[in-house]
Amino acid sequence: MSDRADRPYPRPGRDWTTRRAILAILALQIAMAVVLAGRDLVAALPDLISPARQPTLDTPVAPGDQTRRFRPGDLPARPAVQDPARQTRLPDPGRMPSRLQFTAGGDGVLLLTGAIAPGDAARFEEVLSGPDGTPSIIRLHSTGGSVADALAIGRGVRGAGIATVMEAGDICLSACPYILAGGVSRTVDDAAMVGVHQHYFGENTALPAFLAVEDIQRGQAEVMAHLDAMDVDVRMMLHAMATPPDEIYILLPEDLLGYRMVFDPAADGADG
């Protein structure tokens, strides 16, 4: 018997069936991805066609009317205050630096101004270990930005035993409150503005939802764990999760006090 006779007989029909099965599975997976992506796009269309219709951020808020439009590039000028001496010359919200600027002030105050960009947490650690030493107070004026960096800065603030403050006309929006929460004491002027909303956590809305859910859930868990560790009432996140990214929920002074975003350890100890 020849070697040719010993070779396996080719079965083109079976190979073609296997190939078709593989192609069918791939086609099904692609179709599922297209359907899910289409569903996400359809869900996003109302926001694309008709963006947030909430009042602008400079419209006064009141209990039950606290949601405002959030477009960092179009934020209003800082409001005038009755005592101009209390309002340091800072950039208007719509003209914020693209990443945090760290400016040493008098009396051990470090001013954090601008959007929170990736890498700002590492820069903050360098400032703390720099020649000026660790400040005793951090003042905030930020439109928010990178959630991960805000959480890391907030932990660094708490670890260094630094207080956080906001003066009249200062803003702390989006991810910025996670830095504010890090203060061992937290003081917010009634004429300052603190606001929260949903975060993207890096997901792309053009991708199927199932690819983003895990990142969203992990991000929300990290934020809530951070607030809990900072002794802030995590129920504050109910407002954040109910407010879309193109809107902002402004926390009133009584909200800040009730959720312990404003906190004086001396007064808290006296009450106890």
Q: pLDDT tens digit string along 84-130?
A: 555 455 555 557 889 999 999 888 999 999 999 999 999 999 999 98
The residue to which tokens 């010359």 are assigned = 89
Compute how many other C-beta atoms are within 10 angstroms of the C-beta atom of residue 33: 14
Q: For residues 106 and 78, which has the higher predicted lDDT (pLDDT)?
A: 106
pTM here? Answer: 0.75
- Asked whether residue 223 carries a pLDDT value surpassing 70, the answer given is yes
In which band, very low, low, confident or very high, does the pLDDT at 7 lie, cut at 50, 70 and 90? low
Closest by Cα among 234, 237, 224 to 198: 237
Phi then psi for residue 83, to 5 deg, are -115, 90
Q: Band of the pLDDT at 207, cuts 50, 70, 90?
A: very low
Alpha helices in the chain (DSSP H): 3-6, 12-49, 120-128, 147-159, 177-180, 209-229, 236-241, 253-258, 265-271
Tokens of 261: 């975003």
Q: CA geometry: angle at 225 spanning 224 and 226, to 5°?
A: 90
The share of the chain scoring above pLDDT 90, in percent, equals 52
What's the average model confidence in pLDDT over 182-192?
A: 96
Strand 171-173 and strand 137-141: pairing?
A: unpaired
Residue whose C-alpha is closest to residue 170's, from 70, 60, 263, 88: 88
**Is the pLDDT confidence value at 69 over 60?**
yes
Cα dihedral sign for 54, 59, 65, 68? Answer: positive
Note the pLDDT of residue 208: 47
Say if residue 146's pLDDT is above 50: yes
